[in-house]
Amino acid sequence: MTELEKMHAGLLYDANYDPKLIELREKCANLCLEYSMTLLNDPKRDELLKKLLGTSQLPEGLDIRPPFTADYGNLIHFGKRVFVNVNCYLMDGGGITIGNDVFIGPFCGFYTANHPLNYIQRNEGLEVALPIVVGDNCWFGANVSVMPGVTIGSGCVIAAGSVVTKDLPDNVLAGGVPAKIIRVIDQNERQK
């Protein structure tokens, strides 16, 4: 298997020294930089974002505010009406799926890479990439970190500064380090 195939299969792979993976990350980094340096009203922004995400058509209402960073780009799948605020990083080696109507606050990070605990394997450049899945209608406050392999249910709110290390069910408010469920959200409850 190639290192790319191992990455897609969720196996240990050489993330640091494999020439193909380095080439793919550099291509993505250059596209992120070009996208981030383009004026908001520049018509080429959509074309750059299509290249970055590896798609021929952008999801309806996708709004990614620069600067924005990803590792591969084409392993991120956005739903409709997703808003990504400034300085977000999507480490997408394991794949990141974001549902519809999701708000992502500034300085959030979604990290699919997990490194071995022993330094021998880490120094060999080995890691494993585990997917992150986010349901519909979620809101991430500023500075939220989502760790490898986490699934977040629909209708969730993640408090600013939280670190999500475990799966969350639908319709919960979670916060803290590590994030814990604070309460269930009644989606019919109206704020006063």
**For residues 20-27, average pLDDT:** 98
As a CATH number, domain 3-184 is 2.160.10.10
pLDDT of residue 59: 97
pLDDT in tens, 109-131: 999 999 999 999 999 999 999 99
Give dist(CA 132, CA 24) in Å, integer. Answer: 20
Could you state, in order of their start, the residue ranges of all structural domains in the chain? 3-184
Query: Which one from 115, 154, 166, 181 is the annotated catalytic residue?
Result: 115
Please state, for a pLDDT cut of 90, what percent of the chain lies above it.
97
**With 90 as the cut, is the pLDDT of residue 89 above it?**
yes
pLDDT in tens, 78-88: 999 999 999 99
How does residue 192 score in pLDDT terms, banded at 50, 70 and 90?
confident
pLDDT of residue 163: 98
- β-sheet bridge partners, residue 134: 98, 152
Give dist(CA 183, CA 191) in Å, integer. Answer: 15
Residue 115 annotated as catalytic: yes
